[in-house]
Structure 1
Amino acid sequence: MQSGFACFFRGPDYMRFDWPANAASVGYPKPIGPNWHTSGDFTHDLDGEITGLRAFGAKAYLFRTVTTMVNRDGRRTSSGGFVVNAPVYCRYDFNREVVDNTVTDPADVVGQWNGLFPLLDAGPAIELALDRIGGAETAAAATPLDPATLTAFAHHFMTLSPDTTVVNTVRDRLRQIRERLTELPDRFRWTADLGFAATTTPGTLTEIGNEFSALIGRSVAEFMRLQKLINTADDAFRKAVKVDWQSEARDLYVKRLKEAKELTGALSEALRTVSTTLATYSEAVTTAKSHYKSRKVTEKKLSEVMSREATAITPTARPTAPYLTSRVPSRTRGSS
Structure 2
Amino acid sequence: MKAQHSASTSSEPGYRVVVYLPGSSSLFSAGAAEAPFLAANQLLNEDKYQLTWLSGSELPPCEPLHGPQSVQSTPDDVTCDLLIILSHSAPELPLPGEEKIWLQHLIQQQQVQVIASHAGPFWLAECGLLNTQSVAVHWSLMDDFHQQYPALTLSDFLYTTKDRLTTCAGQAALLDCIIQLIESREGHELAYDVSDLLCMDRIRSAEERQRLPAKHAGETQPRLTMAIELMENNIEEPLSTGEIASLVNISRRQLERLFRRYLDTMPARYYLQLRLKKARQLLLTTNTSIVQIGLHCGFSSGAHFSTAYKSFYQITPREERSKKFHSDQV
**Shorter-chain TM-score: which interval?**
under 0.3
Give the TM-score taking structure 1 as reference length.
0.23
Structure number with the bigger relative contact order (C-alpha 8 A, sep ≥ 6) is 2
TM-score (norm 2): 0.23
Structure with the higher strand share, 1 or 2:
1
